[in-house]
């Protein structure tokens, strides 16, 4: 192949699509050799849902690689407006575009499905934005199942469904739900794989799912392991309580049907009494509060 490439002097591009489907180490090794020795007039373009094992760390340090990740691929408000104006007859105003962009977190495939649905149902994008909660997710779920979820091994699918009961999570919470000692390594691996897992800004080793992927996982959890949901919420409640995050613990305790209300006011946790903070939830709940309500937890 190098002999054939030597005959080309013009600038050339070689595109490898869906590289994440390759799991043969010999192919990876051959590609690393190819990258190391390929001619200067050739640019290699690799698209993949995961970071390919092609010696990318070395290329990054030598400034020989351009990376376009999830954040750069996501549409901003201006791009969303331009996208819909090119695809929908009645166009879109800025506020509607912003609402839709926020709902899907800039995910282009989801925006495309919303545009298609609006066209097929003969609805305006304003109507679609006003009823995002009632958006028909069937096509989106099919897409995520075919392109992402069904390609994972059974253990990873189980892991994701269990963790998805949490709005945000770290390795300690994940371990409580999955009993995996490699919880942090698993999260970091899935993040590198591009499975819609985002690290929380400013929080070390805290993560969340993309909003739509979280909805998809909740749908899969209800369909595939409905008998485990109550147990998962109970485990989550106790794990949050251990982290002194009573607001999150109470939410899961309710879903796990594990408590009796008691109109007692307290300022700390005593025995089996879960103290519920009166503050509003933030991205990562604080362990401090001013006034609180005591809830008796029945495990």
Mean pLDDT of 44-53: 90
Which residues does 72 contact at the CB level (< 8 Å), separation at least 6? none
pLDDT value at 167 more than 70: yes
First CA to last CA across the chain, in angstroms? 66
**What pLDDT was estimated at residue 271?**
44
Residue 188 corresponds to which tokens in the numbers above?
């970091």
Looking at residue 273, what is its pLDDT?
A: 45
User: Do residues 170 and 239 touch, judged by C-beta distance below 8 A?
Assistant: no
To the nearest 10°, report the CA torsion of 109, 115, 117, 120: -140
CATH of domain 149-224: 1.10.10.10
User: How many residues does this entry show for the chain?
Assistant: 299
> Collapsing DSSP states into helix, strand and coil, what is residue 46?
strand
Q: Helix (H, G, I), strand (E, B), or coil: what is residue 198?
A: strand
User: In the structure encoding, which two tokens stand for residue 122, read together?
Assistant: 């003969």
Query: What DSSP designation does 269 have?
Result: -
Q: Taking residues 80-98, what's their average pLDDT?
A: 85
Under DSSP, the state recorded for 169 is: B
Contacts of 239 (CB under 8 A, 6+ apart): 172, 173, 176, 177
Domain residue extents for the chain? 2-67, 73-136, 149-224, 229-297
Q: What is the mean pLDDT of the chain?
A: 81
Q: Is the dihedral of CA 134, 88, 48, 197 positive or negative?
A: negative
Two structure tokens written together for 196 = 């819609």
Query: Do the beta carbons of residue 59 and residue 32 sit within 8 Å?
Result: no
In angstroms, how far apart are the furthest CA atoms of the chain? 83
Q: How many Cβ atoms are within 10 Å of 287's Cβ, its own excluded? A: 9
pLDDT value for 297 = 46
- Grade residue 151 by pLDDT with cuts at 50, 70 and 90: confident
Whole-number pLDDT of residue 94: 86
| pTM (predicted TM-score) | 0.66
Cross-strand partners of 42: 12
Q: Is 228 in a helix, a strand, or coil? A: helix
The H or E element spanning position 238 is helix 229-242
pLDDT for 261:
36
Instruction: Please list, in sequence order, all residues whose beta carbon lies within 8 angstroms of the beta carbon of residue 257, skipping any fewer than 6 positions away.
Output: 230
Contacts for 204 with CB less than 8 Å, ≥ 6 apart: none
For 145-230, list the strands marked E by DSSP: 197-199, 207-209
């Amino acid at each position: 192949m190098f002999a054939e490439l030597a005959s080309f002097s013009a600038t050339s591009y070689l595109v490898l699509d869906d590289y994440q489907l390759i799991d043969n180490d010999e192919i990876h090794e051959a590609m690393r050799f190819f990258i190391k020795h390929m001619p200067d007039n050739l640019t290699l373009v690799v698209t993949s849902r995961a970071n390919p094992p092609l010696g990318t760390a070395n290329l990054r340090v030598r400034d020989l690689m351009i990376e376009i990740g999830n954040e750069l691929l996501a549409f901003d408000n201006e791009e969303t407006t331009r996208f819909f104006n090119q695809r929908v007859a009645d166009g879109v105003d800025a506020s509607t575009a912003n609402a839709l962009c926020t709902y899907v977190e800039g995910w282009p495939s989801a925006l495309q499905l919303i545009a298609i649905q609006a066209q097929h149902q003969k609805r305006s994008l304003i109507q679609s934005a006003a009823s995002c909660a009632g958006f028909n997710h069937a096509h989106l779920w099919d897409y995520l199942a075919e392109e992402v979820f069904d390609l994972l091994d059974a253990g990873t699918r189980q892991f994701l469904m269990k963790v998805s009961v949490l709005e945000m999570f770290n390795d300690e919470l994940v371990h409580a739900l999955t009993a995996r000692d490699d919880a942090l390594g698993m999260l970091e691996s899935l993040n590198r794989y591009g499975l819609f897992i985002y690290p929380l800004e400013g929080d070390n080793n805290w993560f969340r799912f993309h909003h739509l992927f979280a909805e998809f996982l909740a749908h899969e959890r209800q369909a595939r392991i409905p008998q485990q949901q109550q147990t998962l919420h109970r485990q989550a409640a106790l794990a949050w309580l251990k982290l002194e995050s009573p607001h999150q613990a109470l939410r899961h305790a309710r879903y796990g049907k594990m408590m009796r209300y008691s109109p007692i006011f307290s300022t700390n946790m005593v025995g089996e009494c879960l103290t519920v903070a009166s503050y509003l939830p933030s991205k990562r709940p604080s362990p401090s509060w001013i006034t609180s309500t005591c809830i008796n937890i029945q495990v």
